[in-house]
Amino acid sequence: MSSLGLDYNHLEPRTSTIDALPLCKHWFQECGRSHEVCKKGLKYVLPTRMIDLSGKEPRIRLAEELETHVEYAALSHCWGSLEFLRLTTKTFGSFRQRIPFEALPKTFQDAIYIARYLGLFYLWIDSLCILQDSAEDWEKECGLMTEVYGACALNIAATAAEDASVGCFFNRKNTWRCQASPSSTGRPIYDCYSYIALLPKDRLGERAWVVQERYLSRRTLHFSENQVFWECGGNSACEIYPSGYPSCVTEHQGSFVLPKHQLSIESWARIVGDYSKGNLTKSSDKLIALGGIARIIQNQTQDQYIAGMWRENLEDQLNWSRFYACGERITPYTAPTWSWASLKGCISYPEYKDITGQGQTLGRLCIDVHEVQVQYASTNRFGAIKEASLRLRCDFLYSGVIEVDFEGWKTIHIDRHTITHPEPFIRFDCLNVDDKDETSFVNTYILPIRTGGARSTGLLLEPTGRKKGQYRRLGYYSVEEVEHFAKGIKTANLVALKWASHFAETLKDKNGTRQWFIDLV
């Protein structure tokens, strides 16, 4: 759908978000109500429980009681710290008869009103459709998020609400006006409205779970304070640009302006970057809250999903780094240190084109993932894990020191070799040494991943002290390729020196050449 096909021949003031519902209905009808799951190759499965809105009062209905192709809406909202009515094993029986509408928070009441207005008489809300006092039910239902949001006819997003008490509808100034387009010429006339004012206060976007909900949903209505935004695979729009955004707006790359990226392995870096910006109430949800997207991509590629990463080209995916501010390792354990999912904070993940080397020379790969071991917390291979490790065959391993002076300039010292210029790019995962008033020295092991290209890249490691040759990740480095780095520092390479005490295992290949392995946890 390239256009939402709407013309206005007059200016239309709207003093409340609720006044935009006729436009929302137009968007929804224009987009169409396909029962197909948008070429995702997924079997249509109704959520286990849904809220039936067809009667005077809402109530819980079970999937087996409904027809196969029931259209329903889903709600994306911030829980916040507010206590509100929830589905539990104790309330399940009464909710089957009625859910007291007057006891629901405003966001839920507004979502019910919106769904009914648009002709959708079933609604899915996490806190009312998942048993909140059953860890078993929660784990089972979280594994179905692909189907819940992927198959919903519409996702209603309470974008501006920091908790369920705020709702979806907001009053606005009387001077607010939408776009006008004369029917005689079709040429649009716009109010003086800055594109910056288009962007909402995205309180919902601060929640990590919403990334999955937004990407999985075919259509989303964002209810913000200043206007309503429409988002689907074919087009994006808002009240003042109801037929889609002009180029003067889209060139600013606003997340609510451009059509969302299709789910694919090529978009994984963007997805991880967006997801890492969000907050989680429970750190144990780190992998679970992205599992639905991973399931779709795995279905496309048939690749193995490993702790937030993919088995194919896994070596280059290890080259992720934290973004700006120092991160924090999540406790209790959620992922191995070599996975971005172990870190709280924004992540820069290698782009697909950089991982596959499309259009450029990456240089020589210096490691191979020899073995992957993952112990999952349940049967859900896209959910939480108990532990995971990689056995890496490596061409180089150095014992070195990173020097960070009081101005933040970094230097790599390896044996008698010093790399200062051009300044190496170094991101420690958790160590906050950039703001020190004095020079800091960090002992580390340096594991090159790529050499010989425009830059050498790799990991900074430290021994765990638990097993010989076992390391955890400290950070990431990248340096412009210089003559004495990697291949040139033969006298400091622990592989070339055959210092077996630093390695987990040594083996001979079919040619009789000895290979050196470390374990990364």
pLDDT tens-digit map of 2-18 = 455 555 434 455 778 89
Positive/negative CA dihedral, 72, 212, 32, 16 = positive
Question: In this model, does residue 338 exceed pLDDT 90?
Answer: yes
Chain-centroid distance of CA 22 in Å reads 32
Q: What secondary structure letter does DSSP report for 395?
A: S
Q: Please determine, for residue 131, whether its predicted confidence score (pLDDT) is greater than 80.
A: yes
Instruction: Give the per-residue pLDDT at 272.
Output: 95
Residue 335 has pLDDT above 70, yes or no: yes
Name the band, by pLDDT with cuts 50, 70 and 90, for residue 238: confident
CB atoms within 10 A of CB 470: 18
Give the pLDDT band of residue 80 (cuts 50, 70, 90): confident
Quick one: pLDDT band at residue 421, thresholds 50, 70, 90?
A: low
8 Å CB contact between 288 and 308:
no
Name the pLDDT band for 333 (thresholds 50, 70, 90). Answer: very high
Residue 97 has pLDDT above 80, yes or no: yes
Q: How far apart are CA 14 and CA 118, in angstroms?
A: 19
**DSSP-H helix ranges across 237-340:** 247-250, 268-276, 291-301, 314-317
pLDDT band for position 120 (cuts 50, 70, 90): very high
Residue 505 and residue 517 in contact, taking contact as beta carbons nearer than 8 Å: yes
DSSP state letter for 504: S
Q: Mean pLDDT throughout 178-186?
A: 49
The whole-number pLDDT of residue 235 equals: 77
Which stretch of 375-389, 399-413, 478-492 has the lowest confidence by average pLDDT?
Answer: 478-492
Structure pTM? 0.86
Structure tokens, 252: 């600013």
Task: Look at residue 180 and tell me whether its pLDDT is greater than 60.
Answer: no
pLDDT over threshold 50, residue 459: yes
Question: Where does the pLDDT of residue 143 fall: very low under 50, low under 70, confident under 90, or very high at 90 and above?
Answer: confident
Residue range 159-175: mean pLDDT, rounded: 86
In the chain, the percentage of residues whose pLDDT exceeds 70 is 83
Average pLDDT, the chain: 85
**Is the pLDDT score of 33 beyond 70?**
no
What pLDDT does residue 475 have?
96
Please report the pLDDT score of residue 260 as a whole number. Answer: 59
* Greatest mean pLDDT among 43-47, 267-271, 287-291, 468-472: 468-472
